[in-house]
Amino acid sequence: MWDGLIVAKAIRTTPHNYTKRAPDHEIEKHLRGAIYDPLIRKIVIDGIGGRWQDEVNSWLECPGQQDPEPLPLWQQTKQLVVGRAWRPSDTDDEAVCPYHWATPIHQMNCDWIWPKEMDEPPYGGSSSPRFGLLGGQPSHPYLELDTPEYGGKIAREWVVEKLFAMAGVRLAATLNYLFAVEELWSKDVSSFHRV
């Protein structure tokens, strides 16, 4: 649903005014004439340039993950035997922060992305089969998600658009960081050879 149908609905229901070329030529030169161009205009112009303008910089924050205080000797011994527990500092650094960035998304998943009904019969639980015996068809009707409470919330709060914007900003920053380091390194190496 989230990787296809909800994104397709966001593309399909983007208001008509975003089909017109943006006055900012910098935006337009990067568009491809694709079906999703209006959605990109909406995200860049009214999302990043509007409703999320004050929070865009926070999407790149990568707070230093401090390891906890040293453990008592008995816990250190237990970790040696069983293995060390995972810590945010195992993944997050000054450039990318998968744990820090995923934490609010995980909370959103728990709070409402995965409907509570999916854990209850007939959709969930060990007492109810997910599929019928003949032809792999579901033994119950599908859970309706195109409702004002679910699909409506996604549209009203620009959830898809914001997730795309956050991902795009983070990917761009990460690539800039990687290529800037590579460019500096290659300039440094080339100047070394000229000496």
- Asked if the model's pLDDT at residue 59 lies above 80, the reply is yes
Q: Give residue 70's pLDDT band: very low, low, confident or very high (50, 70, 90).
A: low
Rounded to an integer, what distance in angstroms lies between the CA atom of residue 155 and that of residue 161? 9
Residue ranges of the alpha helices (H) in the chain?
5-12, 25-28, 37-41, 73-82, 98-108, 151-156, 159-194
Q: What percent of the chain has pLDDT over 70?
A: 70
**Dist CA 45 CA 43 (whole Å):** 6
- For residue 68, the one-letter residue type is P
Lowest mean pLDDT among 16-30, 65-79, 107-121: 65-79
Q: What is the pTM of this model?
A: 0.73
The answer to whether residues 140 and 117 touch, using CB atoms and an 8 Å cutoff, is: no
Instruction: State the average pLDDT over residues 154-173.
Output: 94
Each residue of 94-142: pLDDT tens digit?
A: 778 888 889 999 999 998 898 888 888 877 765 555 554 455 566 677 8
pLDDT of res. 195? 38
Which pLDDT score, from 0 to 100, does residue 133 have? 47
Share of the chain above pLDDT 90, in %: 42
pLDDT at 61 over 90: no
Task: Say if residue 192's pLDDT is above 50.
Answer: no
Confidence grade of residue 53 (pLDDT, cut at 50, 70, 90): very high
Residue 68 pLDDT > 70, yes or no? no
Q: What is the pLDDT of residues 78-91, one digit of tens each?
A: 666 666 665 666 67
Distance CA 40, CA 165 (A): 9
